[in-house]
Amino acid sequence: MTESALTVDNLTVRFGGIVALADVSLTVRAGSRHGILGPNGSGKTTLFNAITGMIMPQSGRVLLAGREITRLAPHARVSLGLARTFQITSLFPSLTARENVVLAALPALRRHRGAWRPAADREVAERADRLLTDLGLSHLADRPVVSLGYGEQRQLEIAVALATNPRVLLLDEPTAGLSAAETRTVVSLIQRLPADLTIVLIEHDLGVVFDLADHLTVLAHGERIADGPARFVREDPVVKEVYLGG
Amino acid sequence: MRGRGELIVLLGAAILACAPLLFGVYWTNLLTQAIIFGGAALGLDILVGRTGMPSLGHGAFFGLAGYGVALGVTRWSWNPWLAAAFGILATIAIALAFAPLAVRARGLTFLTVMLAFGQVCWGLATRGGEFTGGENGLPGIRRPSLGLDFWDLDSPDGFYLFTLLVATILTLAIARLAASPVGLSLQGIRDNDRRMLALGYNVAARRVVAFVVAAAAGAVYGALSAFFNGFVGPGSLDWRLSAQLLLSVVIGGAGSLWGPFAAGGALHIVRTYLTGETQRWPMVLGALYVIAVLVLPGGIASIGGVLRRRWRRPRRQAALESAP
Amino acid sequence: MRFWIFQTLNGLTTGALLFFVASGLTVVFGLMRILNLAHGALFLFGGYVGLTVREETGSFLLALLAGAVAAGLLGLAIQQAFTRTLLRSPFNQVLLTLGIAFILGNAILWIWGGEPQRIRPPEALQRSREVFGVYYPVYRLFLIVLAGLAGVLLWLLWERSRLGAIVRACVDDRAIATAMGIRVDRVFAIVFTTGAALAGATGVLGAPVLGLSIGLEFDVLLLAVVVVVVGGIGSLTGAFVGSMAVGLLDAFAKAKFPELSYFTIFAPVILILLLRPTGLFGRALE
């Protein structure tokens, strides 16, 4: 068995009387591209929120590289190497793209405390610029986020998450609301990410999922209904029914 | 990039330092006060513009430090330097004690909490009887001495240059803070405080930092103002002073630092001029506020961008686009 | 005992006047998230218009009407001219409405002069009478009763009328109200004008008690802002409770600890807001 980067163990989340996640388990191998599929309301974003600590599960465990993080604060998980993007873009609109990346990078570099030295000293600035260049966003570095297009913001969102230096990256619908051309740009951006980075991806667009994911977990009504290598899950009759029938 | 900002501050200070050579006593004194109010507005911009917390009670820190100085010099006969240190440090201590509570509020609730805080200070000063001099305030504040033959703080020029020196140092320090990780994180907090929490920043502590830095700047300029006037009265705690500081930040362009400094200074000069010229000065000032909002919604600091856009675009098109 | 009754009545009088001013402010605030710092100036403007009408015609009722209409029309003009600018940013609101307040205050000084003035109360209400063992001016008792009536009337309008339901829907969620086909801009114009008219009428009603003087507009405004935020933005109940609390606190503090009078009003405000940032009867804003 290969090393698990992220393990979710019998996770249950309830809001009042509604069960959003029921006993869901999954294992994400290190370096894997793990897709989470499911219709609206099937619990995908709830799963992300529980993994990143934005909501607390009623029972079950979350393990990051074997270490239990179920009750840790969100930022503590970030410093352990867990990053995410948001379905609704969550950036700093009046700051430039570079400043957005710098803000995210500083805590990871343990440089977020000083009040007397520049925030973007040479090392931090170079790191931010390298990241933007790697993602093909260097031409946006000095532009404030408000002036960027939606597709550019979605790409910057990934850059900001990467700036925290994660080992596991959770992407919540990275191509939602994008045009076909913009979607292709984002997909190829994700494909170019380092192979040792573990990626978990929520996506509605089946084409995108099958392009990117090597492993799939399918949720419906908060329950796991299928899990396995992408090429097998694709052919799973239950999945076909949920997705194509319902 | 940063070196350039510091150079501009020093260049501006050098130009201002020539003022006594060109102007008489009246203008030198007026410029002294303009620097005091401009500097206080620049300090407030850290809280209002950078961190996004509008305060309508910032004058309290200005006034409290003034009262601290006045009490030290007149009531307890201290050396003015000691009184200045006491006034400023005591004000910072009060800000430090109050900040953790105050920053729990946001937006207009914060504005009101600060308004109430200012009114409490004003009420205590006016009703303080003998101790604070009540409505009459405390006159007779001696200025400190540098012990230098060529630099006499009792002369208008000497005090002007001293004020300018303090303001330059403080501005460089604040600009440096603004460019630091803490300074950048304040803007992040203004834009998206939840995301900052998730990234691992202690948002509440940083709001406290912004609050105390702004208060400390207010305190330093409040002490300077007390020495300049030789007098402290409840007027220095009036909410209208807080309003003037907040308006300076808004007119100058919240978050730009130099804009609020320019606006704070200019507002004081305009106001002094109008007060001397006409009984209608509140009307002119009010009209200025209204016009500022309509013409420059981003403040004075946005004027460069506005002009550039006007310049680049043909007129007709500009007219079309500005009327959505 | 007489002291307590007397000060309670004083407090309720102040509270009554405050409620008239604060109710308009809070609904505008709740509806559009606009803090109108010119509200106090509209109050004073109404009062001075009332003064002139009272002196020219001798009728208090006409004066009241004139004060309300004048302030209401001015409010409508401000609303029509500036709503879009006001909505752009909270900073614009502070700058613009304070600017208008300065202009209006100075215009009042220009027109009516700087002497403090007073409007004579209606002839029928000029006596004093005994209540609970103390002699108290009938006019002030009338104000207290009026505040009670107005409170009930506003509550009925708010909770039971069609307009009230529409305004409440807009306060709750402007986007949904718009989607339901409510013309929010028109609702806002009506509410803003009504609030301004109410403030103007209060200027006339309050003039026999508070007098009319330059600077009064900001004294009233500051207390009204405090009432609105403490009561909970957009809450009429909160405005009522807050007004009475501030009025009573003010009356007793002035009588008992005159040296601490501002402290006793504003220190509790700080405390309440820190414990309940949304105010006593408010809900969180977005």
Distance separating alpha carbons of residues C18 and C248, to the nearest angstrom: 11
* Nearest chain A CA: its distance from B200 CA (Å): 4
Q: What is the pLDDT of residue A204?
A: 82
What are B242-300's pLDDT values in tens digits? 999 999 999 998 888 899 999 999 999 999 998 888 888 889 889 988 988 888 877 77
State the DSSP string of C106-163: HHHHHHH-SS-B-PPPPGGG-SEEEETTEEEEHHHHHHHHHHHHHHHHHHHHHHHSHH
**pLDDT score for C133:** 85
**Residue pair A74/A85 in contact by the 8 Å Cβ criterion:** no
> For residue B316, what pLDDT is reported?
43
Is A230 domain-assigned?
yes
Q: Which of C88, C102, C229 sits opposite B282 (nearest CB)?
A: C102
Asked if B135 contacts B234 with a C-beta cutoff of 8 angstroms, the reply is yes
Paired with A82 in beta bridges are A168
Domain boundary among A102, A132, A164: A164
Q: Scanning the structure block, which residue is given the tokens 């492993």?
A: A215
CA dist B292 → B111, B205, B284, B302, B324 (Å): 21, 34, 12, 11, 20
For A44, the token pair is: 């995908």
Nearest CB to B280; choose among C92, C106, C258: C106
Q: Residue C35 is encoded by which pair of tokens?
A: 């803090």
Tell me the whole-structure pTM to 2 decimals: 0.89
Cα–Cα distances in angstroms (integers) from residue C199 to residues B43, B188, C22, C38, C39, in the given order:
36, 40, 8, 11, 7
Q: How far apart are the first and last CA of chain B?
A: 36
Q: Within an 8 Å CB–CB cutoff, is residue A40 touching chain B?
A: no
Classify domain C2-120+139-275 at the CATH topology level: ABC transporter involved in vitamin B12 uptake, BtuC (1.10.3470)
Exposure string (b/e) for B197-216, b if CB count within 10 Å is 16 or more?
bbbbbebeebbbbbbbbbbb
Are B244 and B270 a contacting pair, CB within 8 Å?
Answer: no
Give the pLDDT confidence score for residue C169 in this predicted structure. Answer: 84
Residue A155: give the domain boundaries.
92-164
Residue of A nearest to B198 (CA): A75
pLDDT tier, B320 (very low <50, low <70, confident <90, very high otherwise): very low
pLDDT given for residue B221 in this prediction = 98
| Percent of chain A with pLDDT strictly greater than 70 | 98
DSSP B151: B
- Report the number of distinct structural domains present in chain A: 2
- Looking only at the bridges linking them, the beta strands covering A18-29 and A168-172 are unpaired
B171/B217 Cα distance (integer angstroms)? 9
Q: Is the pLDDT of residue A230 over 50?
A: yes
pLDDT at site C181: 84
Cβ separation of B198 and A99 shorter than 8 Å?
no
Q: Which among B2, B176, B181 is the nearest to A106, CB-wise?
A: B181
Task: Give all chains having 3 or more CB-to-CB distances under 8 Å with chain A.
Answer: B
CB contact set of A183 (below 8 Å; sequence gap of 6+): A175, A205, A208
Query: Which helix or strand (DSSP H or E) is residue A15 part of?
Result: strand A4-15
Residue B192 scores a pLDDT above 60: yes
Q: Give residue-wise pLDDT tens across range A136-161.
A: 899 999 999 999 999 999 999 999 99
Kindly report each contact of residues A122-125 with a partner whose C-beta sits within 8 Å and lies 24 or more positions away, as own/partner: A125/A98
Contact B322, B294 (CB under 8 A): no
A212 domain-assigned: yes
Do A149 and A173 share a domain, yes or no? Answer: no
Q: Where are the domains of chain C?
A: 2-120+139-275
Residue A86 falls inside a structural domain: no
Same domain, A135 and A204: no
Q: Decide if C273 touches B, using CB distance below 8 A.
A: yes
Domain of residue A47, CATH code:
3.40.50.300
Residue A40 lies in a domain: yes
B88-112 mean pLDDT:
91
Residues A109 and A6 grouped into a single domain: no
Q: What is the least distance, in Å, from the CA of C91 to any CA of chain B?
A: 6
Lowest mean pLDDT among A154-168, B27-41, B307-321, C35-49: B307-321
pLDDT at C27: 86
pLDDT of amino acid B5: 80
Pair (A196, A219) in one structural domain: yes
Give chain B positions within 8 Å (CB) of A99.
184, 187
State how far the Cα of A136 lies from the Cα of A103, in Å rounded to an integer. 19
The structure tokens listed for B129 are: 């009887």
Contact B115 C225 (CB under 8 A): yes
Which residues contact residue B303 at a Cβ distance below 8 angstroms, ignoring those fewer than 6 apart?
A: B296
Each residue's pLDDT tens digit, A1-41: 458 999 999 999 998 888 899 999 999 999 999 999 888 88
CB contact under 8 A, A103 and B185: yes
Among candidate residues A191, A205, A183, A131, the one with its CA nearest the CA of residue A161: A131
User: Where does the pLDDT of residue B323 fall: very low under 50, low under 70, confident under 90, or very high at 90 and above?
Assistant: very low
Indicate yes or no: CB of B290 within 8 angstroms of CB of C96.
yes
**Is C261's CB within 8 Å of B107's CB?**
no
Per-residue model confidence as pLDDT tens for chain C (286 residues): 888 999 999 999 999 999 999 998 998 888 878 889 999 999 999 999 999 999 999 999 999 999 999 999 999 999 999 988 888 777 888 889 999 999 999 999 999 998 999 999 999 998 988 888 889 999 999 999 999 999 999 889 888 888 888 888 887 787 888 888 888 888 889 999 999 999 999 999 999 999 999 999 999 999 999 898 888 888 889 999 999 999 999 898 888 887 777 788 888 888 888 788 788 887 654 3
Does C touch A (3+ CB pairs < 8 Å)? no
Interface pTM, i.e. ipTM:
0.86
**Shared-domain flag, residues A56 and A103:** no
One domain, residues A222 and A113:
no
Best B50, B184, B194 member to test A by mutation, with max A CBs in 10 Å, is: B184
For residue C35, give the nearest of B108, B286, B287 by CB distance.
Answer: B108
